[in-house]
């Protein structure tokens, strides 16, 4: 079967309706394109869980602030389609701005997940999660999947999508997929392509720092001290650090030293700039 390319909702719905009539299970992987092995692993998980897989490619302007990289975000449609075709994806949906934001970005209805959208990444990128949640909800309504797969690299995004699905009673099962890493530990990301050779060499320090932080917490270190020393290590190597923070995994609430008890599920989240490239990463662990 060849892969269907679809740029309008009527065609998408006709195909999805046909699959539903045939009792197929539909899994969905939303992307902004520029696909790397991390995305491809999401597709593979989707294929294991469902009989049909839909991937969307849409660089969503609503999740970029005016000073971010919307214009320069890497767009590699031909290579993306080739990879998805090779993997045997059933349909690629490529909406345009008029489909996503018919009234324009400022006048369209939006969805905002409170609190979770404002903390950590949301503090540094106000409006980012509103843009993500709105686009994802719209894509869910267009594709109407049974299952959707998101990467754990964007852990806060994953939690926000889970909350959105729960709060709005969407009949969609959300699956989180483990972060894929380069051989030196750097989490795969489309933005890694912005790194020059020396930045790329240094970038591994971000995931290494998370491991050091985990080790310190496991050894009973004071959280604020551990956080401070990780920030200093990164800054000493030229990173501009937005945050390195230890949180409770399911709520992303802050944890205090006396809350660190056995079996506690924790996550370290970090965001830092190296040169002009902003990298994020996280590390989950149980104490
Ligand atoms: O993670 C991404 O690539 C984007 O935030 C998503 C989920 C496709 C929404 O635009």
Question: Is the distance from CB of 27 to CB of 146 less than 8 angstroms?
Answer: yes
Quote the pLDDT of residue 268.
98
Average pLDDT on 146-170 reads: 98
Ligand 1 nearest-atom number relative to CA 30: 8
Quote the pLDDT of residue 262.
82
Task: Tell me, in angstroms, the distance from the centre of ligand 1 to residue 258's CA.
Answer: 36
Task: Tell me, in angstroms, the distance from the centre of ligand 1 to residue 6's CA.
Answer: 19
What kind of fold does domain 4-177 have according to CATH? Answer: Rossmann fold (3.40.50)
Quote the pLDDT of residue 260.
87
Ligand 1 nearest-atom number relative to CA 154: 1
Share of the chain above pLDDT 70, in %: 100
Quote the pLDDT of residue 160.
98
Quote the pLDDT of residue 197.
97
Q: Structure pTM? A: 0.96
Ligand 1 nearest-atom number relative to CA 63: 10
| Residue 60 beta carbon below 6 angstroms from any ligand 1 atom | yes
| Residue 148 beta carbon below 6 angstroms from any ligand 1 atom | no
Quote the pLDDT of residue 102.
93
pLDDT, tens digit (0-9, with 9 covering 90-100), for 193-230: 999 999 999 999 999 999 999 999 999 999 999 999 99
pLDDT, tens digit (0-9, with 9 covering 90-100), for 19-76: 999 999 999 999 999 999 999 999 999 999 999 999 999 999 999 999 999 999 999 9
Angle between helical axes of 155-167 and 128-143 (0-180°, round to 10): 60
Quote the pLDDT of residue 263.
86
Quote the pLDDT of residue 49.
98
Q: Residue 1 above 80 pLDDT?
A: no
Structure tokens at 180: 């894929």
Catalytic amino acids? 39
In terms of Cβ atoms closer than 10 Å to its own Cβ (0-12, 13-18, 19+), residue 135 is buried
| Residue 84 beta carbon below 6 angstroms from any ligand 1 atom | no
| Residue 32 beta carbon below 6 angstroms from any ligand 1 atom | yes
Please provide the DSSP assignment of the chain as one string: -PPEEE-SHHHHHHHHHHHHHTT--EEEEEE-S---HHHHHHHHHHHHH-SEEEEEE---GGGS-TTSSTTTS---HHHHHHHHHHHT-SEEE---HHHH-TT-TTTS-----TTTTTSTHHHHSTTHHHHHHHHHHHHHHHH--SEEEEEGGGHHHHHHHHHHHHHTT---EEEEEPPPB-TTSPBP-GGGGG--HHHHHHHHHHHHHHHHHHHHHHTT--HHHHHHHHHHHHHHTT-EEEEEEEEETTT--B--GGG--TT-EEEEEEEEEETTEEEEEEEEEE-
CATH fold match for the domains 4-177 and 190-281: no
Sign (positive or negative) of CA dihedral 109, 114, 118, 120: negative
Quote the pLDDT of residue 261.
84
Task: Let me know if domain 190-281 sits in CATH 3.30.750.24.
Answer: no
Average pLDDT on 87-113 reads: 95
Q: Residue 233 above 90 pLDDT?
A: yes
Quote the pLDDT of residue 237.
96
Quote the pLDDT of residue 247.
98
Quote the pLDDT of residue 31.
98
Residue of 30, 75, 137, 165 to test ligand 1 pocket, by largest number of atoms within 8 Å of CB: 30
Quote the pLDDT of residue 242.
98
Mean pLDDT of the chain: 96
Each domain of the chain, given as residue ranges in start order, spans 4-177, 190-281
């Amino acid at each position: 079967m060849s892969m269907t390319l679809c740029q309008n909702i009527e065609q998408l719905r006709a195909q999805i309706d046909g699959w539903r009539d045939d009792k197929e299970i539909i899994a969905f992987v939303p992307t902004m394109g520029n696909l790397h092995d991390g995305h491809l692993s999401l597709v593979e998980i989707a294929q294991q869980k469902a009989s049909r897989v839909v991937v969307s490619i849409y660089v969503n302007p609503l999740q970029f602030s005016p000073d971010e990289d919307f214009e320069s975000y890497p767009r590699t449609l031909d290579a993306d389609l080739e990879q998805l075709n090779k993997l045997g994806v059933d349909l690629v949906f490529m909406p345009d701005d008029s489909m996503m934001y018919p009234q324009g970005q400022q006048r369209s209805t939006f969805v905002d997940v409170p609190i979770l959208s404002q903390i950590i990444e949301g503090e540094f990128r106000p409006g980012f999660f509103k843009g993500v949640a709105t686009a994802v909800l719209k894509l869910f309504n267009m594709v109407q999947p049974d299952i959707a797969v998101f990467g754990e690299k964007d852990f806060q995004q994953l939690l926000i999508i889970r909350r959105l699905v729960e709060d709005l009673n969407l009949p969609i099962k959300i699956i989180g997929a483990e972060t894929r890493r380069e051989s030196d530990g750097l989490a795969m990301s489309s933005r890694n392509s912005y790194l020059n050779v020396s930045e790329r060499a240094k970038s591994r320090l971000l995931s290494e720092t998370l491991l050091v932080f985990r080790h310190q917490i496991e050894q009973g270190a004071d959280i604020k001290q551990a956080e401070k020393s990780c920030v200093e290590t990164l800054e000493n190597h030229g990173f501009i650090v937005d945050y390195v923070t230890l949180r409770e995994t399911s709520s992303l609430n802050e944890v205090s030293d006396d809350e660190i008890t056995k079996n506690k599920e924790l996550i370290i989240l970090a965001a830092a700039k190296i040169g002009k490239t902003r990298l994020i990463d996280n590390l989950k662990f149980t104490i």
